[in-house]
Amino acid sequence: MTKIITIITLFICSLISAQNVNLTVSVSGVKNNTGVVKVGLYNSDETFLKTTYKSMVSEIKNNQATVTFIGIPAGEYAISTYHDENKNGKLDKNAMGIPSEDYAASNNAKGFMGPPAYKDAKFVVNKDSKIEIAL
């Protein structure tokens, strides 16, 4: 009986780990190599642009940056990214609240008189994937 339970447990663990994927995000069009690029990964409409599921920072080389989210569960996600040119850890905005640092979202989602919507930026990842975003 112990052998059967062990085999079933190992089988379930292998199924669970098989559902984890890697997502590489390449950001191009960075205007200079100053500062860093911050990439936020979101897994729901409720948290989009509020609380990241995971986030990463990348140095900029040749006006490009790349990050890889390793071992995330397969599923639906959206990405927002920005060029933190002064490395202060936030997307700077002018007096009117308009971002003064370059930013973008997955699927080239754009907002009208505001930020992009999750429904426009979302995509599905079910295997190791690469996404390219231009600032």
- Write a three-state SS string for 71-97: EEECEEEEEEEEEECCCCCCCCECCCC
Mean pLDDT computed over 20-39: 97
Q: Bigger pLDDT: 134 or 15?
A: 134
The tens digit of pLDDT for each residue in 52-109 reads 999 999 999 999 999 999 999 999 999 999 999 999 999 999 999 889 999 999 999 9
Sheet holding 65-73, edge to edge: 65-73, 20-28, 129-134
Per-residue confidence band for 3, with pLDDT thresholds at 50, 70 and 90: low
pLDDT at 10: 53
As to burial, measured by CB atoms within 10 angstroms (0-12 exposed, 13-18 middle, 19+ buried), residue 8 is: exposed
Distance of CA 12 to CAs 5, 8, 16, Å?
11, 6, 6
Q: Give me the pLDDT at residue 53, please.
A: 98
